[in-house]
Chains A and B, each alone.
Chain A
Amino acid sequence: DIDGVGHKYHLELELEDVLDKDSTVNCTAEVLYHLGNKNIAPDVQFTLEGELKNTDEADNVFYNRIKSLEKELVAENIPDNYGNVSPEMEPIHLLAWVASGYVIWQNSTENTKFQLAQIKHVKQVKRSDEYLEFDYKILLHEMLTQEIIPWQMTVLWHPQHGVEVTRDSRQPKQA
């Protein structure tokens, strides 16, 4: 409890590679939730104790595959209703995961717990520069309220420059 400022949490985490359960990295972090104004994202500071795996090769394979598509990529329901993700869509799924992490961070308070529930729709947007751009419509699941919240996010990615969410907005809920 920090008077007049907010609540600070000190965390000791073990990060596990989603694609390789045996690969873990320890991490310490400090999260500060600001008092009052719920519209400010919590401050996050972290230190990785070790290195993350190098993914250059897989990144480049994916990058080149998308760059060489004749028509812009379009897909729906990832995973599908039965939890399936086709191998070609796995990187699209992972990219959404990372990007939604940013959206979740920006919208988190001490009373929220968000997860990416599903990608409803993703459409690649043609760009003249070297970046890949995807327009995602995702569903976020919020644990406390149990709500499924549709969200739009525009995601930029490049193997060397990483992920950036350039635009995102909450969408109206389906009746």
Chain B
Amino acid sequence: MKILLLFAALVAAARSEQLFVGDQVLRVTASDEEQITLLRGLGERAELQVDFWRHPTRPGHPADLRVPFHSLQAVKIFLESNRISYNIMIEDVQELLDEEKKTMMKSRRMERSTSTFDFASYHTLDEIYNWMDTLVDNHPSLVSKIQIGQSYENRPLYVLKFSTGGSKRPAIWLDTGIHSREWITQATGIWTANKIATEYGRDPSVTAILDSMDIFFEIVTNPDGFAFTHSSNRMWRKTRSINAGSFCVGVDPNRNWDAGFGGSGSSSNPCSETYHGPYAHSEREVKAIVDFIRSHGNVKSVISIHSYSQMLMFPYGYKTAPAPDHQELNELAKKAVSDLAAVYGTKYTYGSIVDTIYKADGTTIDWAYDNGVKYSFTFELRDTGRYGFLLPSTQIIPTATETWPALLDIMAYVLEHPY
């Protein structure tokens, strides 16, 4: 038996891979300072080779120890005889590593061989940015990638441009992920961008739209926030800009626009999730879009996509007075919502922001509308609260699929109603 283990170790060493067969990870919680000292001592016993994944710091705070197979019995007897409580977090480290490796290899194989991106799972920022390049490579005469600026932490702000030519054609702007925790939106954005690219030349509606208009699509509108939801806090909403004079970070990018800026439908407290920022367009992520749309000069529709609540809304959020185009926008929203429901029965409510959800000041679409972009809409995608921001990835494709006809309705309407 020992010979086999030795052989395995030699083979592994030859492949310069470390083996963790039978190793366990124990979560240990010391109840007083004396136990903390004992635990530290355990770490110093070289023959045991205990590897601290999380060091013992204070009583009541868990420490995680990887214990090699050969030391398990000794370590457990030590813990038990000193009445230090622990539980087995990982029964066999090698098993876990083998599983993980299998999954990663499978995923990589799939992505390399058919350059098929897994639309049915959530991705990291790097994966999304890489996929954008793949999309451009696969549709070079239709799709290009432009950079409209940089985030607070200097990440590039990329926009996919869908165009069949012309010069400054009337355009439709789409954005997802302005609130980073709303993961279903970036995921829907990817699927939708892919859909637009593949349906050009096949779907009459998409073809008609792209033959006369351009589409600009910013999928990760808040990349700093998005990276933060992956690395640190899944529930992060705002940008990651530092606020002078406060420990709290970030500005709500959907309260930072110059439309009713600073009103009661936003907060002046930097620690708040709806903090509007020191002044309108203070956020680079917002300023980049403002500058882009202003200098383009021919954007006819802005569609900003959020989650969750299942709503389709149009201006205003900052005032209760109906927008001049209220009737028309309301009718269009009604149709879009009906076509969305026809797919899987998902029910949306619709109306102006202030009537449908709450008073919100400094929002994207209010700014767009007040700056001449008549067909300005915002979506709140699935669900209505059961999973909320943590929507299971199995719902990504259904959500994108049902939202597609609603988006098409709006885009087709914009095409047919030039102004």
Contact = CB atoms under 8 A, between A and B. Distances in A.
Nearest to A175: B247
Contacts of A139: 235
Contacts of A148: 235, 273
Contacts of A143: 309, 357-358
A81 B387 CA distance: 11
A147 B234 contact: no
A100 B80 CA distance: 37
Interface stretch (B42-50, B71-79, B320-328, B388-396): B388-396
B273 A146 contact: yes
A interface: dominant SS: loop
B392 A82 contact: yes
B358 A71 contact: no
Contact of A145 (B248, B273, B388): B273
B234 A81 contact: yes
Given A145-B272, A145-B273, A145-B274, A83 B233 contact: no
Given A115-B385, A144-B358, A83 B390 contact: yes
B169 interface: no
Contacts of A84: 392-393
Nearest to A147: B273
B154 interface: no
Given A74-B87, A145-B274, A175-B247, A81 B388 contact: no
B122 interface: yes
18 contacts: A74-B87, A82-B121, A82-B392, A82-B393, A83-B387, A84-B392, A115-B385, A117-B388, A117-B389, A117-B390, A141-B385, A143-B358, A145-B274, A146-B252, A173-B271, A174-B233, A175-B247, A175-B248
Nearest to B309: A143
A83 B392 contact: yes
B386 interface: yes
B240 interface: no
A152 interface: no
Nearest to B238: A146
Contacts of B388: 115-117, 141
Interface of B: 87, 121-122, 229, 233-235, 237, 247-249, 252, 267, 271-274, 309, 357-358, 385-393, 395
A116 B393 CA distance: 19
B112 to A, nearest CB: 23
Nearest to B248: A175
Contacts of A82: 121-122, 390, 392-393
Interface string A110-142: 000001111000000000000000000001010
Contacts of A146: 237, 252, 273-274
A79 interface: yes
Contacts of A141: 385, 388-389
Contacts of B237: 146
A18 interface: yes
A79 B271 CA distance: 26
Contact of B87 (A71, A80, A144): A71
A83 B395 CA distance: 10
Given A81-B390, A146-B274, A173-B271, 16 more contacts: A79-B387, A81-B234, A83-B387, A83-B393, A83-B395, A115-B388, A116-B385, A117-B235, A117-B390, A118-B235, A141-B385, A143-B357, A144-B358, A145-B267, A148-B273, A175-B248
Contacts of B385: 115-116, 141
A105 to B, nearest CB: 15
A16 to B, nearest CB: 11
Interface string A146-175: 111000000000000000000000000111
Contacts of B393: 82-84
A18 B383 CA distance: 13
B393 to A, nearest CB: 6
Contacts of B247: 175
A147 B237 CA distance: 9
Interface in A37-80: 71, 74, 79-80
B172 to A, nearest CB: 27
Contacts of B235: 117-118, 139, 148
A143 B309 CA distance: 10
A38 B237 CA distance: 28
Contacts of A145: 267, 272-274
